[in-house]
Amino acid sequence: MVAFLLLLGHSTQVQAAPYAAMVMDGRTGEVLHSRNANTRLHPASLTKMMTLYITFEAIRNGELSLDTKVQISRNAAAEPPSKLGLRSGQKIAVRYLIRAAAIKSANDAATALGEAVSGSEAAFARRMTRTAKALGMTKTTFKNAHGLTQKGHLSTAHDMTILGRHMLYDYPEYYNLFSRRTADAKVRQVANTNRRLLGSYKGADGIKTGYTNAAGFNLVASAKRGDERIIATVFGGKSSASRNAKVAELLDLGFRRAPTHAKLRRPSRPSYQGNKGIQVASSEPHDGRAGKTIRVNGAVLKSLRPKSRPESTVVVAIADETPEQDDDALKASIDAAITEATLETAQATNEDLNDAQIIAAVASVSSALPTVSRVQPYRGGLRPIARPANIETAAVAPEPVVVTRLSSSGGRYWGINVGRYTNRFKAEKVLLKTALTEMSTLSGTLRKVVKSPRGFDATFQGLSQDRAELACRRLAARNLTCRTIGPRS
């Protein structure tokens, strides 16, 4: 009986997860310590760092905002703990889902965010993997948004350290989330799963914990003391207490090895790729399931040359001694002249043409011209009489060139208002700060302070309606005040 119990105890003992660790100087990206850092292991809820990173990217690029209401699908509501307790069909703002995923590590909130951004968790997981590769996380593959154990869902201590550093520098406006001990997640107050390290280690301000049986106790932590910033990652801890102790030890090692002063070398943010040909039809499905996704054609990758025009023979009377012209040379000279004329026209009208537009312009000009094919010399009849040298020809006036300007606002201008202030100085200061924050949509606009009896309105003018609405969406995603101003009647 004793032997049976011993055997039973041995068979039910959980095998310890593999250990891996990395320590990095957050300012420079220099590796200060590494152990099994490139071994592919289960990341557990460290996965949610990528879920949040892509959500922040989607907000910055206007795919959704912090106030976008997400309808919870049956798939998200059915996720196992840790969870917020969301119900199928419930609607909740993105900001609360972010808090629940970042602070409580809620699986249902993470899945809901993935479905809101990409339409389905599977599509979101593919975007997660693409983003990981763009960040340099070469050994990471994601299969879900929450990190529960799934075949092929793997990462490394090195890759998660890279992700933690990008989270810190690419989206600093959201980084404070990871240092909050508690937060309002709408459904209820949630406590930070990393609160013990945050409360016990001087300078600790994040980032994310993770645990599953297969992964063990994982943690990507960061701490700042003076000008020094250290990031430490541990995979495979045996308990939360021993993991925290090991992370504290690694952070101490990092502060000892890192130079007191070092020039900050921010990591390069990857180019925005979005959902790669998938449009999210709605983040609020009517039947409680994940939003439908629609595949659409992506951007044109290559512009093909237009097909040759059908040749037509033009009979021209030529003197016997006129030599036959070479077909290829003649066609080449005509093509060159057409291309040169088209490019000069584009420069004269100050238009920016891409390759596809230039080819289309060449095709439209050349299609109006007949093709000159090889002709035979005229053999019969009299030679034409030479034209007298003193004949005066009438001057032909050049056709006028009409330059038009396209406008999406019907000749009227739109603008945006970013707030009303008590004096002109404050309004101008906000305009300058906003222009620097949102350069992509506000470039080339007119910054204008409009005085009224109620104060000084800070406005940007000279936008199209679409551009004004896009600017407001992007500013609202940063919690900045913005409203569109329609054209004057």
| 120 is an active site residue | no
Cβ atoms within 10 Å, residue 189? 12
Cβ atoms of residues 99 and 184 within 8 Å: yes
Distance CA 179, CA 193 (A): 10
Given the residues 65, 73, 82, 105, select the one marked as catalytic. 105
Given the residues 48, 83, 143, 246, select the one marked as catalytic. 48
| 48 is an active site residue | yes
Distance CA 74, CA 333 (A): 66
Structure tokens at 224: 């700042």
Given the residues 45, 120, 155, 283, select the one marked as catalytic. 45
Size (the chain), residues: 489
- What does the longest C-alpha to C-alpha distance in the chain come to? 129
Cβ atoms of residues 231 and 164 within 8 Å: yes
Gyration radius of the chain over CA positions: 33
Give the burial class of 74: count Cβ atoms within 10 A of its Cβ; 0-12 exposed, 13-18 middle, 19 or more buried: middle
Q: How far is CA 46 from the centre of its chain?
A: 21
- Mapped to the 3 state alphabet, what secondary structure does 115-177 carry? HHHHCCHHHHHHHHHHHHHHHCCCCCECCCCCCCCCCCCEECHHHHHHHHHHHHHHCHHHHHH
| 105 is an active site residue | yes
Residue type, 172: P
The label of the residue with tokens 């703990």 reads: 81
The label of the residue with tokens 């003076």 reads: 226
Nearest to 450 by CA among 485, 411, 489, 404: 485
Cβ atoms within 10 Å, residue 188? 10
Cβ atoms of residues 36 and 207 within 8 Å: no
Give the burial class of 167: count Cβ atoms within 10 A of its Cβ; 0-12 exposed, 13-18 middle, 19 or more buried: buried
Active-site residue numbers?
45, 48, 105
